[in-house]
Amino acid sequence: MLDLDLISTSLPGKPCDGCAKERLLETLHQFAESLGEAIDAKDPCTRFHSEQVAQVSSAIARDMGLSDHDVRMIHIAGHLHDIGKIGIPDAILKKTNFLTNVEWEHIRTHPEIGAVIVRPVEAFSAPGGVADIILHHHELYDGTGYPYGLSGSDIPLGARIISVADALSARMQHRPYRQGARFEVAVREIIHCSGTHYDPVVVSAFGEAVDRHGQRILTG
């Protein structure tokens, strides 16, 4: 389970009852959703991407038996996972052909930028929490991802979940240099990469969620 019992520390020095915690978390959730939409608006090709990642990742988390609180925090992280792209030049984000190696290096900084942006929010800053999920959502299960080349259970569970959801949505996106895949094709590609790019436990839960919801998993 994720160690995400964060909200009780969100108002330093003040007691916080259940209703106040819920209001605070709902406000953070709404703000995260707004920021996700702002990031997606920078690039017409990624419209609805953050919403899709949030929906798919929360469906996976529920199928893994995580608590309602953990599912909600992962949903928030889904909205915010690409917030670091604020720091990437539009000329790179909106480029209509393949990126150069230098441009890819710029793109690969967005998880670290995103983690820096959200870490001052105390409710997002604990180990394994939203900031760490953002930081590590491009790590791969076999250690070939970035920014730190973490592997297996060294990658925060929330990041392993977001990685699968992100791959599904991204693979279905149409780009000027390639057609997006059909939903069924994208799902098969993720399952094929179980144990290499993606945590097999997460992929198993993803498969169960897809069997139950079909393409509706993208919209909740």
In three-state secondary structure terms, 113 is: helix
For residue 87 the two structure tokens come to 């720091």
Strand partners, 123: none
pLDDT higher than 50, residue 190: yes
- Asked whether 100 and 52 are in contact (CB, 8 A), the reply is no
Q: What is the pTM of this model?
A: 0.88
DSSP character at residue 3: -
In the chain, the N- to C-terminal Cα span, in Å, equals: 23
Distance CA 181, CA 20 (A): 43
Q: Which pLDDT band holds residue 188 (cuts at 50, 70, 90)? A: very high
> CATH homologous superfamily for 36-218?
Hypothetical protein af1432 (1.10.3210.10)
pLDDT per residue over 16-28, tens digit each?
456 777 787 788 8
Distance CA 178, CA 180 (A): 6
For residue 16 the two structure tokens come to 């916080």
Distance CA 146, CA 193 (A): 17
For residue 210 the two structure tokens come to 């897809």
pLDDT higher than 70, residue 144: yes
Sign of CA pseudo-dihedral 129, 73, 57, 117: negative
DSSP character at residue 178: B
**Nearest-10 Cα torsion for 8, 11, 16, 21:** -70
- Asked whether 88 and 107 are in contact (CB, 8 A), the reply is yes
pLDDT higher than 80, residue 138: yes
pLDDT per residue over 30-55, tens digit each?
889 888 888 877 776 677 899 999 99
